[in-house]
Structure 1
Amino acid sequence: MSTLTQDPARTTTDEGPQNGRGSWPVIPRLRGTAWLVWRQHRAAFWTIIAATLVGVIAMVVLRGQMMDYLGTLEPTQRRPGGLPPEFDTYGNLIVDVGSALGWFPILAGVLLGAPFIAGDLETGTAKLVTSQSVSRLRWLTMKLAMPAALVALSTGVLSAVFNWWWTPVNGFVTQVDWIAGPIFNVTGIVPVVYALLTFTVGVAVGLLLRRTLVSMVVTLGIVTAIGFVWGEMRSSLGTIMSVSTNKGIGPGARQPELPAMAVEQGQGTYFLTSSGDRLDWMTCLDKMGNDKAHTACLESKHVVGWSKDYIPFEQMATMQWLGAGIMFAITAAVVAFIVVWGRKRLL
């Protein structure tokens, strides 16, 4: 065969291409089930990728503006309590963006997870695919693995950039505690596992109900319930510590101060007695109108100071990993259910 009729890009020798520049690079391509899943849901996948890029760019720009502003301040001002009121604008932006990122797990469950398999079951695509040479297990595995990997990557990137933005001023942002959702739920490992949990729950609901719209509505209710339970249990993941005073509660006595960035727990300040017991803040409330009567009432109960409960900031990472471990265990159980149910009753 004449070399004039051959594709130069495909002409190689044992040492590589004939032009002597080494072996041609191999560009990975999706094949088989992976190609099918990507092709089928490429609009949703590209939307997630685009939204991630937009979020990253926005946070990088906002962080740059914040750091430029901090650079204009005197060193004595760059500390908690010393920042000008104008800094509140940047603190509000951090909280607002954190709140917006907190919607990602909900969207992952409702808009991605619920219709992912329900749509195929409703339109008959699942029956068509599995009637070919593709097994149910292989199809289910790819339908779970590809979007789950993309969800984990997207949330991980957004979480890392948000944490990079928030960390330099984590002691300055007083608009919300670190244990609140706009911070706790979008930093560390939590957002990744949280989004995977809601996604798999959506897939499981879609697999059971087999109708896209109904699955999305039911998933929204379940994901909302998960968010409520998670919000209620977050504080219980930490170890509550106490700080107290025993120098009386009269004029000049000061209440105990919490460590920097600690989050107060419980009802607030308790009265501390000489025996170490703590009394509710409503103790002797009926005597509040009369200072002498109020003081006498507290003295009769042997009150010697105040006590406060709190969770220190140092526990944040531990609490996040503990919460993520619980959510990961639930996610694994949901995935196991999807695989077992799907292999037996997919069609």
Structure 2
Amino acid sequence: MSSLTTTPSAATPAPPVATRGVRRPRLSGMIWLVWRQHRAAYWTLLAVTAIAVAWMLYQRAGLLDHLTAKGWPHSSPDTWTENISPYSAALTKASLGLGFIPILLGVFLGAPLLAGDLESGTAKLVTSQAAGPARWLAAKIGISALVVVVCTVALSFTFGRWWAPVSKQNTVLDWSSGPAFDNTGPVPVALALFTVLGGVAIGMVLRRTLLSMVVTFFFAAAVQVVWAHFRLDLGHVIRVTTDSGVDGGTPPLPTAAFEIDQSYVTSSGETLGWSTCVHAGSDKAVEACRQQKGIVGWAVDYLPITQMSGMQWLGASILFALTVAVTVFVFFWGRKRVV
């Protein structure tokens, strides 16, 4: 007898279910356009930063090996600073190189960022599409600023860690000098951002790439000069005095203190220049001159290293405020005159 129904001997396998591939986050729109346009500059900055960070970490390891072998940090500094010249020379060279970064970023990244598009007419084409000038400016400035911040933070942090074991030894790298002060903490970030945004503003106004780069170079150099002139004014000067006579010597200062000035102090608290009575003649005449003027000891003005961080953040805050002001100018100017 035949049957109209048959039972399968084995279960028929279910058809494979199509699975979607996991989509990776990808840039799109204006952000993708800006990154693609400037990707060579961005990747170059990131690659150079990675190489510099690796080199500084290697140098720091060598410095720590040298210091540890000399008994650091428990031995006297006179012991572990012996034969430290090669390591201090490497620190100095690195600090000088890092000091040029704000200028290079301003000239080669900030100045051409808008000037190139304005000169070639690309800005008019882009902003005439769905994206307006404000969105174009935001993408240009935002991505560039992010890359600058990432690179300068990495360099500042690594250099600070390298210098930290010998930061209280002014003979290695004085904390109050530009090579140390300007390359650690928030200062490199603030200087770089201000210089880059200044270059962007110059390029937007001049609308010529080469001319903008030249003008930005002088602008960045002027920023460095002004910053160096007012750097120490960010601190609060401390004065220490003695009243045991001039021959007793100047008062001792804290470790790594930066001495600003020495002067004589009188019994009334008045200060006189250290050259007072120098030309009086013989030693007896000089002593008589000091007694006549009421000089009783020394007065020394200095800045302690403990103020370094506060000085850096105060200066960086001023630079950040200036950067915000320049950014606002770029947006107000660019929304109407970018094309």
User: Is the pair's TM-score, using the shorter chain for normalization, greater than 0.5?
Assistant: yes
Cα drift, residue 296 of structure 1: 1.5
Partner of 1:91: 88
Secondary structure of the corresponding residue to residue 84 of structure 2 = helix
Determine if the alignment matches structure 1 residue 244 to structure 2 residue 241.
yes
Cα drift, residue 130 of structure 1: 1.2
Deviations 1:200-222 (A, max 9, x none): 00000000000001001111111
Partner of 1:29: 26
Deviations 1:269-302 (A, max 9, x none): 1011111111011211213x52222122111111
Secondary structure of the corresponding residue to residue 248 of structure 1 = coil
Partner of 1:114: 111
Q: Is the 8 A contact 1:96 1:182 kept in 2?
A: no
> What is the aligned residue count?
326
Q: Which amino acid aligns with 1:235?
A: L
Q: Distance in 2 between matches of 1:163 and 1:118?
A: 35
Partner of 2:10: none
Residues 76 and 199 of structure 1, relative CA distance in 2, 3 Å threshold = closer
Residue among 228, 232, 243 paired with 1:231: 228
Q: Distance in 1 between matches of 2:237 and 2:90?
A: 30
Q: Please show how residues 119-198 of structure 1 align to structure 2 within 5 Å.
A: 119-198=116-195
Q: Which amino acid aligns with 1:81?
A: D
Q: Is the 8 A contact 2:88 2:173 kept in 1?
A: no
Deviations 1:177-204 (A, max 9, x none): 2121111111111111111100000000
Cα drift, residue 82 of structure 1: 3.2
CA RMSD of aligned residues (A): 1.8
TM-score (norm 1): 0.90
Q: Is the 8 A contact 1:81 1:172 kept in 2?
A: no
Cα drift, residue 78 of structure 1: 4.1
TM-score (norm 2): 0.92
| Larger-gyration structure (1/2) | 2
Determine if the alignment matches structure 1 residue 305 to structure 2 residue 297.
yes
Secondary structure of the corresponding residue to residue 334 of structure 2 = helix
Cα drift, residue 320 of structure 1: 0.8
**Unmatched segments (≥5 aa) in structure 2:** 1-13
Cα drift, residue 79 of structure 1: 3.6
Q: Distance in 2 between matches of 1:258 and 1:101?
A: 30
Identity %: 45
Q: Please show how residues 242-321 of structure 1 align to structure 2 within 5 Å.
A: 242-250=239-247, 253-265=248-260, 268-287=261-280, 290-321=282-313
Secondary structure of the corresponding residue to residue 24 of structure 2 = coil
Q: Is the 8 A contact 1:76 1:82 kept in 2?
A: no
Q: Distance in 1 between matches of 2:77 and 2:68?
A: 15
After the TM superposition, which of the residue ranges 224-233 and 142-151 deviates more from structure 2? 224-233
Q: Distance in 2 between matches of 1:89 and 1:243?
A: 36
Cα drift, residue 83 of structure 1: 3.1
Q: Distance in 2 between matches of 1:86 and 1:103?
A: 28
